[in-house]
A and B are shown apart, each in its own frame.
Chain A
Amino acid sequence: MSAGSTVVRERPVRWDHPLDPEMLHRDIGWLLSQPPFSELNPNLFLSHGSLANILRHDARILRCEPGDVIVREGDYGSSAFVVLRGSVRAFLVSLWEKRGRPESSAQLGIFQRLKQWIPSDKTSQVGKGLPEGDQQVLNRRHAGRRNAPQSRTIPVQQVKTVEGRSRIFLQDIEAVVADFQSEPLGPGHIFGEMAAITRSPHRFTVLAETPTVVLEIRWQGLRILRRDAGFKEYLDERYRHSGLQSHLRETSLFRFLDESTIEQLASEARLESYGDMEWFAEYKQSASQDIRSRIEHEPIIAIEGTEANDLYLIRAGFARVSFEHGRGHQTVAYLGRGQMFGLEELAQSFRNPNLKPLPYQASLRALGFVDVIRIPRGIVTSLLFPQVRRSELPPPILQPRYDGGGRVVEAPSPAAETPLETSLLEFLVDERLINGQQTMLIDLDRCTGCDECIKACATTHQGIPRFIRNGPQYGPLMFAHACMHCVDPVCMIGCPTGAIARNPDSGVISIDPNTCIGCKTCSESCPYENIVMIQLVDQQGRKMVDKESNLPILQASKCDLCQKLTSGPACQNACPHQALFRIDTSDTKPFQVWLSKKVA
């Protein structure tokens, strides 16, 4: 039915698209009789109808054959899984050494596609050609794997179609289980919830060992289930403990450590969280405050000048390293996942055990939400440093800002040693651009404002550009309002239908137009205003309005990095002046490289 230049239709609502439309009533009844659902308080979910309603719409039952991959390391998680029947294996070590994620065929060039057809014996080349020391390291890493590491299997991923959906499976599951250290998980066990809650990649692979039935719960449903205090406490406890060892193993400095040392480190380490997971609301409120008061309000993790008793390892989120400068605090660096704080000070103590330990030379503050692993000094100096190469230890602090006697007045400013200008660092931190992995950067020294980028974007997306060629500026650098495909995509929090999701292969965050109900949650959550609501139109260009309220039907719109194009982002390719780039601002190195090229 149409009315003038508008089209009337029913507004899409939550649960219009259940995760499994074919979920049976008897399945729900059976699920409710199984733990952990049988232990939940059903009265807590009445606002969503009932617990059964949540399971009907946000969960689905998967039936897996032995070897089927349920969770794959490196893929971004959006669901948790509960084993209902059978047994699965969680692999504690990486099945694919430095494999990265396999490229999708759309990303491969013609020569790479041809190369796929040429037989390769690369699998037998692991460790070959490496220096003797590195081969030993590789062998020590394989010590966690059972049987002979020399002849271990490299698991080959294959794809099959089950119930119309592609599923990855590994052949010869017995050999894989024999070669790699794994842990069996039986009925009632939950896995994958950590990646789903923290919007991060999975750290391990889970395979079906026997014919298995698992329940997949998308994180929107999981979030509602967390209303049950007992269930929440159980998940939080698992979140705090289960990922620790795998995270330590991933840390570059710890790669020489044997399994027993890792276990000991994990048992002594403490997992601490600072700030609020839903940090964006507070950030938006404090955006108008001056930088001094904003820094002072940031939760402090370690204070400069105090005794360096711990090594801090950032597990998730970002932290600001700053030091007192006059009456304020000057930013020296920002630390992201996998980076450490306090290492220089502890290494100094390790090198000079007879001298009084150096205090922290700078302060560490949480930017939004930060998860840190805190390892006590005694463990670091007695277990970690003796097993680390001397060359990998940080250089000694020759002119400390603080020593055993307190503040050293003549000490040089640490800012002199920072790779990026302090003001640029502070700009990146204050605008929270450090969250971006694909930040759109426009070099105003080259940009003529020709709008070819906008035209290309509009042409690729049915006439509606997905970004605004404007945004925060720092000198000649403009950080345009385009989705940055963040490390911590807060826009995904609260999407009631799961329409906004991260692509497990490319890491790109995109919105599924079929499931978006236009509730504006993502648009209002995005701290960078990079998601806009557009009014839906039909093929004739007529605006769509709701049948009941007669209000326009909206849909969230954001940059999807032109995933459908094999040539990559259209805007970037269309810029005739080499002014528009995508850059990873979550790390200073790519930025540094780009700036040095620009200045040269």
Chain B
Amino acid sequence: MNRSFPTTLGEKILLSRSGTSSRVLIRPAWILMLLGAGLLIWMRSYWIARLGNEAFVTGYALLLICFALAALGIRKRIHAFRLGPVAVWQSAHHYLGAFCLFAYVLHAGFMPDGWIESILGMLFWTILGTGFLSWYVNRNSPRLLRAAGPAILRSDIPHAKILVGEQACQLAIQAAGSTNSAVIADYYRTKLADFFSTSRPWLYRTFPTGKKRRQLISDLENLERYLDDRGKVLMERMSQLVHDRDDLDFQSAIQNRMRFCAALHTFLLGAFTVFVIAHVWLAHQYSSHW
């Protein structure tokens, strides 16, 4: 086999995009975008000069761009052909998204009049917003996930939570057996049992923070003065379990948030497509000339 690294064009592109050489690939993308913008402005001027309706030029350009943007979703579902790495398509999707903003403003301004156009406008800005949010979340999530302990599969998280909860319960039972460490069992009953057995509130799942964990661990540390040596050991183990459970909740929240953003983006794009088709049909029906 003796396959040297990297070998495929896709791998080379990906490698060239990481690190210092990333500028080499970014420059042509920006140049292409500028050329595209120039071409669109020229076509619009040309269409105006021949007394045409320039909204058709920019409208169809926008439609084409929207189809190209939607092609990423199709690419993700096709694996049988040599279509290049999804990473390259996604990168192109980001650049096209930025270009789409320019084409949209050229076509309709920031917010058009008319109810169907207004819905389209709102959908467009929402899709752009969710797209940007997805990009931001995808960019930051790896860092956040890495900070929350070892990587774990999303599908394994519920089971891992149950295991941590069971360990905490066992620890509390163990602590209850001794007078000098029973305070841990009391604390488990009043505060920790809920923490280990219930889901976190929606606010945490949207914007996860370490506030609750810090509070619980601080409370546990405050119990130290009531504990003997064995109790202190149990307290440390319980603190670790609180930490583990919080890490799992954090990982779950981050991964769900990421998926929600992507799903919302895709769903809105579907709705947008329906309205766009209606808009194109209406434009052709009621426009006096091209």
Q: Which residues of A contact B (CB under 8 A)?
A: 100, 109, 437-438, 444-452, 456, 459-460, 468-470, 473, 476, 478, 485, 506-508, 562, 565-568, 570, 572-579, 581, 583-584, 590, 593-594, 597-600
Contact = CB atoms under 8 A, between A and B. Distances in A.
Question: How would you classify the secondary structure of chain A's contact residues: helix, strand, loop or mixed?
Answer: loop
Interface in B70-100: 76-77, 79-87, 89-90
Given A448-B145, A449-B141, 12 more contacts: A437-B1, A444-B142, A446-B142, A448-B255, A449-B145, A470-B151, A508-B1, A575-B85, A576-B76, A577-B138, A583-B5, A600-B19
B76 A506 contact: no
B4 interface: yes
B143 interface: yes
Contact of B3 (A449, A581, A584): A584
Interface string B129-149: 000000000100111011000
Scoring A445, A449, A572, A579 by chain B CB atoms within 10 A of each residue's CB, the highest score goes to A449
A573 B84 contact: yes
A114 to B, nearest CB: 15
Given A566-B82, A578-B14, A590-B5, A445 B76 contact: no
B255 A449 contact: yes
B142 A597 contact: no
Contacts of A594: 5, 15
Interface in B5-22: 5-6, 8, 10-11, 14-15, 17-20
Interface residues of B, number: 45
B154 interface: yes
Given A444-B145, A469-B153, A578-B18, A573 B10 contact: yes
B253 to A, nearest CB: 12
A452 B80 CA distance: 15
A599 B15 CA distance: 12
B29 interface: no
B233 interface: no
B1 A470 contact: no
Contacts of A446: 142
Contacts of A470: 151-153, 156
B258 interface: yes
B21 to A, nearest CB: 8
A459 B141 CA distance: 26
Contacts of B146: 444-445, 476
23 contacts: A109-B82, A437-B1, A438-B3, A445-B143, A447-B142, A447-B151, A449-B153, A470-B152, A476-B146, A565-B80, A566-B81, A568-B8, A568-B10, A572-B85, A574-B85, A575-B86, A576-B138, A577-B138, A578-B85, A581-B6, A593-B5, A594-B5, A597-B15
A456 B142 CA distance: 21
A573 B79 contact: yes
A59 B87 CA distance: 48
Given A578-B87, A583-B5, A598 B79 contact: no
